[in-house]
Structure 1
Amino acid sequence: MLQAFQENISLGRLPVPEPNIFSGDPMQFPEWKNAFTALIARKNIGAADKLFYLRKYTSGAAAKMIQGAFLRSDEAAYKDAWSKLNTRFGDPFIIQRAFREKIAHWPKVEDNDAKALRDYSDFLSACNDAIPHVKGLSILDDCEENRKMAIKLPAWVGNRWNRRVTTSLKKQEYPSFKVFCDFVAEEAEVACNPITSPFGLKFQESQRKEARQDKPKHQVMVTQASNPIAPSPSTTPQSQASNNQANPPPPCTFCDGAHSIHKCSKFGDKSMEEKTKFIQENRLCFGCLRKGHYSKNCKRRSTCAKCKRSHPTALHYASHRPARATAVA
């Protein structure tokens, strides 16, 4: 009893089934007609309601053809609308011709396009499934029709089908359309194998390339040793001074002093609001206090000496949360 009650609750939560909107494709007409009949036409509702739903679930050429019926609300108008739909889109000859025309206009599948081969195979399977329900579609078993379909295959698949046909002709019979569909489906499955097929290997390689591009590059930072090596006897104080003058350290961004902004006492004494304003106005990174990038893209984030979090020590405060960069260089 409880289980039945729970099942009823689950069914009540499912979306209400409804037909698709039919726009005039004869190949879609049988499926749409069956759905409309089961979900709406068989309900105990009046002709006006059925015409309302018929208008709701048609569009394009189908809706234009029966729009005159919507001006009325009687059973005769509803039957007249369905008569026109069946004549225009439901005739078996119209449906089988639509399938054949789509096959005839299907683009040739290129040799290296595994996805296109799979799409072609899916449509052929749909044609094969429709044969028992569409009168005249069995013409696809004809060898001339098969030639028109086989010419769409890639060269390497066409050669394999040629071997299959040649073997079958030795038994005085030509392979049926179902055999052809099964053959193309098997070749498409092989071509799209995600593990070992060229299509699968190419996809895996593209994923690896994207992963390498997204992976941040590690940069080696050269820092000054805490115990500098004493100059060699050949290096005189005068030459060392000249070298220092030739390669002076970069000045502090805040006070132009001979130190980095991380060690600037003047910058450290400022309030957090003043520091933030200075960083934004000078378009510095909140992660390393350098110019040229947002903090979200920073690959050289400083580590706070007080809390060990990823921000410069100069930006530390008791309830610190990593700041978001709002400026770039």
Structure 2
Amino acid sequence: MAASTPRNVDPPTNHQSVPQNSDHNNNTPCVGTELTKFLVKKELLLSRLSAFNDKPENYLMWKGSFSIIIKDLSVTPMEELDLLVKYLGPESRQQAMRLRASHPTDPVKGLARIWERLDERYGSPELVEAILKEKIARFPRITVKDPKKIYELSDLAAEVESVKENPKYKTLLAYYDSSCGVNTFVYKLPGFLQSKWTDRALKYKVEHEVLYPPFVVFTKFLKEMSIRMNDPSFAFDKSPSSYDNREKATTGRGHVITNKTKLTPQKLSKCPLHETDAHSLSNCRIFKNKTMEEKKSFIRQHGLCFRCCDGRHSARECQEHVLCKECNSDRHCDAMHEARNPTFVHSGEGDRVRPFGTTNAKVTASCTLVCGQEGFKGKSCAKTVLVNVYPEHHPNQRIKAYILIDDQSNRSLAKSEFFDHFNENTQEIEYVLSSCSGHVTTTGRQASGYIIESLDGSTKLSLPTLIECNQIPNIREEIPTPEVAKYHEHLSDIADEIPPYDPSAPILLLIGRDMIAAHHVLDQRIGQSNSPYAQKLRFGWVVIGETCLGALHKPETITTNKIHILSNGRP
């Protein structure tokens, strides 16, 4: 009998262990991917953190971004405290470190104290409102030639709307839902857009039966107008024919001009006055001897540049190198230099020098008691006040100057000396200056963001946008002095309140009706029918009328300051 061979019996197989190993191997790549995503996201979030620059106008935006990133990172209070101190500005970091040191074992409380301090220092409602007002006030008025500025104004309005939606600031900024707040923006728009907003607002008031459209309606209007004004499809001012004519004109003379530029440093073009190529208009002696009004009229008639006098382009587009030999200015050539000959009467404004005879000399001596200083003759006084002027936030740069307060002018003006002193090299605008002598089209710089202050510092007002104009009268005889008031019985009690005459202070500004607070009359002194009277304005006392006793001084010139400025270029 054969022996049976034993069978090989396989050990029992653990069927559950195999799928477990399989799941582990399949999940390993998933865990690695998730870990990689987490690290990349964390690095990306940290890279989005930006440092605070200690400027209140940027605090709300920075705080919102920082809070969102911290929430996504899910950090502990101690880690948040470290990140907060790291990404603060120099000044705010010092405050945060002091508060952190006062709570070394309680990061939650220290974090709360730091945020409370930052909100008080950089995010208080009053501070935010003041910053928004300042931004709006400093924003320049928009012209038709600069439609891209409407985007910037729309962004500023959107910023106000966003801040206003915050419950913390909603009550304080509620006036932007009225005409009082919206008009601060409307004033910056061109005239035709102001009319469009008037129609839009009136329609909204009628349809919704409200006193005034809410601010969100105005921001929507600004957004629509910014798109419309910057859409090239609606640019109708430049026709193809004008481009063709410009190309033909450029082609016809471009070759000659290029050769001349290469051969000589001076541009020799044809003089339109003499119809000759021997000299250019800027070097023409006959043209230089003309009056400034005749020069401007000739240039306008021939379509020439007011800056170089040679090219057929505007002064704003002029690329020629120009330097006046008389005053070293690069804003006009020698031929357009306006000489101001000093006179005995106006100290720089008259057209002629008027010598005084024996009779006039005696009159001057007789009036010394009233007018005060020898050589200064306060014959007929006007609203001229001595004040301090300085850029906003820079009172250390203040200068002392006389200002003319003229309720017959619709805009405030400043002389070139003012713009040069404060380095205001803004782009020139064209405007029409209307006075009794007629309409004059001229150009000038603009300046805003200045403060005018009374000598005693009791009154400070923000100046409106100033326009450069050298036609401001420089009649120093109209400046009131203490001596003028002292020798009139009804004015004697205010003599000590009028500052002495300051010969070093120039007459720089003319304040028009766009700064109505400067015209407010707080008190007055009235005498007999033909005697001078005095008014107390916000910047001090002024004397108006003939002040010489016995009318010894006869006025040699007539001064009429009826000035109206049209910024749209039309008389």
Q: Taking structure 1 as the reference length, what is the TM-score of the superposition?
A: 0.51
Partners of 2:81 and 2:213 lie apart in 1 by: 47
CA contact (8 A) 1:108 1:151 kept: yes
The equivalent of 1:115 in structure 2 is 148
Partners of 2:68 and 2:201 lie apart in 1 by: 43
The Cα of 1:184 is off from its aligned counterpart by 1.0
Map 1:60-75 onto structure 2 (within 5 A): 60-69=90-99, 73-74=104-105, 75=107
Q: 1:151 aligns with which of 180, 187, 190?
A: 187
Map 1:162-173 onto structure 2 (within 5 A): 162-170=198-206, 172-173=209-210
CA contact (8 A) 1:128 1:178 kept: yes
The Cα of 1:119 is off from its aligned counterpart by 1.2
Gaps of 5+ in 1: 210-329
Q: 2:223 aligns with which of 182, 185, 197?
A: 185
Assess, with a 3 A threshold, how the Cα gap between structure 1 residues 198 and 120 changes in structure 2: closer, same or farther: farther
The equivalent of 1:135 in structure 2 is 170
Map 1:1-329 onto structure 2 (within 5 A): 9=36, 12-13=39-40, 15-17=43-45, 18-40=48-70, 43-45=74-76, 47=78, 49-69=79-99, 73-74=104-105, 75=107, 77-133=110-166, 134-136=169-171, 137-170=173-206, 172-173=209-210, 174-197=212-235
Partners of 1:22 and 1:150 lie apart in 2 by: 32
Partners of 1:114 and 1:190 lie apart in 2 by: 9
**Per-residue deviation, residues 143-179 of structure 1 (Å, max 9, x unmatched):** 1111111001122211211222333455553222111
Partners of 2:238 and 2:149 lie apart in 1 by: 14
The Cα of 1:138 is off from its aligned counterpart by 2.9
Gaps of 5+ in 2: 1-26, 248-571
Which structure exhibits the higher relative contact order, with contacts defined as CA atoms closer than 8 Å and separated by 6 or more residues? Answer: 2
Assess, with a 3 A threshold, how the Cα gap between structure 1 residues 8 and 71 changes in structure 2: closer, same or farther: closer
CA contact (8 A) 2:77 2:111 kept: no
CA contact (8 A) 1:106 1:152 kept: yes
The Cα of 1:99 is off from its aligned counterpart by 2.5
Q: Secondary structure at the match of 1:107?
A: coil
Q: Secondary structure at the match of 2:144?
A: coil
2:223 maps to a residue whose letter is A
Assess, with a 3 A threshold, how the Cα gap between structure 1 residues 201 and 62 changes in structure 2: closer, same or farther: farther
Mean CA deviation greater in 142-151 or 154-163: 154-163
The Cα of 1:36 is off from its aligned counterpart by 2.9
Partners of 1:199 and 1:114 lie apart in 2 by: 13
The Cα of 1:187 is off from its aligned counterpart by 0.7
Number of aligned pairs?
207
**Per-residue deviation, residues 177-197 of structure 1 (Å, max 9, x unmatched):** 111111111010011114443
Assess, with a 3 A threshold, how the Cα gap between structure 1 residues 78 and 5 changes in structure 2: closer, same or farther: closer
**Per-residue deviation, residues 197-255 of structure 1 (Å, max 9, x unmatched):** 369999xx9xxx9xxxxxxxxxxxxxxxxxxxxxxxxxxxxxxxxxxxxxxxxxxxxxx
Task: Give the structure with the higher percent helix.
Answer: 1
Q: Taking structure 2 as the reference length, what is the TM-score of the superposition?
A: 0.31
1:163 maps to a residue whose letter is D
Assess, with a 3 A threshold, how the Cα gap between structure 1 residues 9 and 150 changes in structure 2: closer, same or farther: same
1:35 maps to a residue whose letter is S
CA contact (8 A) 2:147 2:230 kept: yes
Q: Secondary structure at the match of 2:165?
A: helix
1:126 maps to a residue whose letter is E
Percent sequence identity over aligned pairs:
20
Q: Secondary structure at the match of 1:185?
A: helix
